[in-house]
Chains A and B, each alone.
Chain A
Amino acid sequence: MANIEKPMNTFCGQTSRREFLHQVGGGFTSLALTGMMAKDGFLANQAHAADGQTPWDNPLKPKNPPLPAKAKHVIFLFMYGGPSQVDTFDYKPKMYPLDGKTIEVKTFGRGGKKNGGRVVGPKWQFKQYGQCGKHVSDLFPHLGQQSDKIAYLHSMTADSPIHGSAMLMMNSGHVLSGKPSLGSWVNYGLGSENENLPGYVVMLDPTGGPISGAKNWTSGYMPAAFQGVTVNASGTPILDLKNARGMSQQEQRTMLDALNKYNGRHLSDRTDNSNLSARIASYELAYKMQMSAPEAVDFDQEKEHVKALYGIGEQRTDDFGKKCLLARRLVERGVRFIQIYSGGNHNDANWDAHGDLVKNHSYHAGNTDKPIAGLLQDLEQRGLLDETLIVWGGEFGRQPTAEYAKGTGRDHNSYGFTMWMAGGGIKGGVSVGQTDEIGSKAVENRFHVKNLHATILTQLGFDPNQLSYFYRGLDQRLVGVEGAEPISQII
């Protein structure tokens, strides 16, 4: 039966979005999803596959945000394990003389709730940097020099002082698993400017993923197309990108052409099924991806002084430097959301300094200080910092007191910690919020993780309290149905 008329799409033509979702019981295809967005005036032009004929509804096709946007991309530098605020960016001069003294202070970490303990004074000296005169610890000699670009948030709070739930909180706004992660929301709202690359890229530490692995970049109840894709900064960037068993590009083309013939015959009497043509088109898109994605990780074109800026070639900073450089290259190629993990696995393989604080933080800061400073400078020099929002931080901070009778280790602290943002319309050289004199808890301008998420969405051109996804009878939001306001002081 050739030349069958295409059915009217009754979903979008006749029913409201909410009714439509009820009709299909909450489950729908990506094709229907994009159709739905088109109705909302959300979509740009219709994409075509590489053969120029077959329409393909890309769930990640670029969309314009509803409001004016300052940022088009996000690079989230995740310091997994929880860096200590008083040893990094939250300068507490009155804490040094307290070192070793037992004080009363309420803390809550993996060791439970405590009412006091032995103070561990800051283990590094602080210097003032830039025009803003920001105090930054000696852990970050390179990053300190970039302080005029940075807005420091000293009064962050989170719901959980335990890694697993706190990671989910920072990544998805909720301590329980099953919610889409921040990058999924960004891709859902904005799509990706480059269909040859994933719109949401995650780069992991060489020691492994963070606790709960893929849950941290899941798309939760959204379709899998919005989930993060782990990408390697060297070798083959994406899983199964490279042809197997020595198949050459030409052989692959020959095979795909033959496959198209078979699929074309199959389609000829099923023309009313657009899913079939979408799948045919996906082979051409994958082919294009294979041609262009490896170029993104090819650093040969980069000048030596640029690589040096990121610390590439130096033993300590080579790995993280390559990831930061790749992040910049991905931003240039239109990737929306990039998350780079400093630290992986468990214990001292990340910033989780329970034992020897000096050893732990010296190691992780030393691996990342120069690459991050390099990234900020390189983005600025290329005019990309204005449209790229940088977020730095862990899932929580650390306590002022020692965890054990001996040693410098600090337990987790979600009552107060420091994060910073830069670029993407964020003010530079400012510090907002305060913890108490020993950094134990946020006392002024307390901000929740949700405020951070709201700020990110705002900079990308969304009203954080409007960007929603209908699921389980509710317009779900990253900031929760209760909503959250962005941090206006730094915008």
Chain B
Amino acid sequence: MNQQLVTLEQQKIEVKEEFAMAVAERGRQKTWVLARGNPQLQGEEVNPSFPQILGDPEANIPEGYGNGNQTTGKRRVLAEWIASPKNPMTAKVMANRMWQHHFGRGIVRSSNNFGFLGDEPTHPELLNWLAAELIEGGWTLKRMHKLIMMSRTYQMSSTGQTAGLKADPNNDLLWRFDMRRLAAEEIRDSILNLTGQLNLKMGGPSIYTEIPAEVARTASRPGAAWGRSSKEDAARRSVYIFVKRSLHEPFLASFDWADTDNTCDVRFVTTVPTQTLTMLNSKFLNDSAEVLATRLQGNSQNISEQVSRAIELATSRPATDADISDGVKLINTFQQGGMDANQALQRFCLLVLNLNEFVYLD
């Protein structure tokens, strides 16, 4: 009997309820302009409508959209208007954001503000065309990424040219690719990818990275503030890291991760010494250097081949003679100082993870 109970307990499926915030309406209520904000001074009746500047302001709620006291149907009409092919703004704003994340800046630089106080698009026809492509392509983002990344503009070198720098130093006309530092998530994911640990599993609950005890201690409940994930889960892409408003994942926070309280259209890109301390001394970086060293040792036992492979993996280009000789020299110097071969290679791997070329995108 007891044995049976134990077996059945193990088979028990845990049913988890998921909750999401939603708005509830209580029937269709009329809304009035309240003169000078005074609730006693009822003015004109207000019916739902859309901004006139974006086209047809009519917002008719078809019969059958409402459902008694449950909903008026207003939100459905709004949702349909937002996603309608006839509404140009949604696709424009989205296409602009995608452009921004590839190029470091949007065609409209103020990507949260397309209004009067925002910036003019540097390439209005391009933006219109991208928006139309997004709609016609059935709103699939993957297709848009491919379209943008296959373009000549995206594939342009970041190398400067005297004439270009003189004529258009801000690169408003996109005569070259704007070199950019990888975003916090990209740096972490690139490190995991370089060492071969990146786990590309999609979806599911958020994951927790290993955080230093010093950071955990800043919470008002130091033991309860941050969870633990398995090693495999902790190596998943940064978008899956749990976002906690009172405790920011320290690696991401160090590299200008977006603040959790405000909308963030463009992130800061700061360069401060504490980032360097993270890149040299944190457990994550040193663990990664160790894994990278093991990966290189699996390919070859020859030092110059290991160096060459590390540079290739980190920079996506063949290693030059100077790259190889400097790396080999560093490893030899360490070994002559009494360090064992494995540790010397790990130190070199740490260097590779710190290369400007690894952290900046040409």
Contact = CB atoms under 8 A, between A and B. Distances in A.
Nearest to A267: B356
Interface string A263-274: 101110110110
Contact of A241 (B281, B285, B360): B281
A5 B273 contact: no
Q: Name which of B112, B256, B276, B354 has the most chain A CB atoms within 10 A of its CB.
A: B276
A213 B218 contact: yes
A247 B347 contact: yes
B355 A275 contact: no
Contact of A276 (B222, B275, B360): B360
Contacts of A241: 277, 281
Contacts of A278: 271
A26 B264 CA distance: 9
Nearest to B322: A265
Given A23-B119, A263-B356, A238 B109 contact: no
Nearest to B285: A244
A30 B220 contact: no
Nearest to B222: A208
Contacts of B267: 27
Contact of B277 (A208, A209, A290): A290
B273 A204 contact: no
B357 interface: yes
Task: Identify whether the interface residues of B are mostly helix, strand, loop, or mixed.
Answer: loop
A24 interface: yes
Interface in B344-362: 346-347, 350-351, 354-357, 359-360
Interface in B104-155: 105-106, 109-113, 117-119
A4 B165 contact: yes
Interface in A366-383: none
Interface in A334-360: 344-346
A259 B355 contact: yes
Given A245-B286, A259-B354, 15 more contacts: A8-B169, A10-B170, A22-B117, A23-B109, A25-B109, A214-B218, A214-B246, A220-B262, A244-B280, A244-B285, A250-B337, A262-B356, A278-B271, A279-B356, A282-B276
A28 B268 contact: yes
Interface in A125-178: 176-178
A486 B218 CA distance: 32
A388 interface: no
B229 interface: no
Interface string A211-229: 1111100101101110001
A212 B246 contact: yes
B161 interface: yes
Contacts of A289: 273, 277
Nearest to A232: B214
- For the complex of A and B, the 4 pairs showing the least CB-CB separation, nearest first, are A27-B266, A178-B261, A7-B169, A25-B110
A261 B326 contact: yes
A344 B334 contact: no
A12 interface: no
A408 to B, nearest CB: 24
A280 interface: yes
Contacts of A59: 270, 272
A24 to B, nearest CB: 6
Given A5-B166, A263-B355, A272-B165, A209 B220 contact: yes
Contacts of A24: 105, 109-110, 266
A279 B166 contact: no
B221 interface: yes
Nearest to B180: A275
Interface stretch (B6-14, B55-63, B71-79, B247-255): B247-255
18 contacts: A7-B166, A7-B169, A10-B169, A24-B110, A28-B266, A59-B272, A204-B218, A208-B218, A213-B246, A215-B245, A220-B262, A221-B259, A245-B286, A266-B356, A275-B269, A279-B360, A283-B354, A346-B221
Interface string A227-266: 0011010000011111111010011101100110111011
A405 interface: no
Nearest to B270: A30
B337 A251 contact: yes
A255 B271 contact: no
A312 B159 CA distance: 59
B166 to A, nearest CB: 7
Nearest to B267: A27
Contacts of B327: 258
A489 interface: no
A224 B268 contact: yes
B246 A286 contact: no
Contact of A262 (B212, B274, B337, B351): B351
A151 B20 CA distance: 50
B276 A266 contact: no
Nearest to A24: B109
B341 interface: no
Contact of A258 (B256, B269, B286, B351): B351
B109 A344 contact: no
B196 interface: no
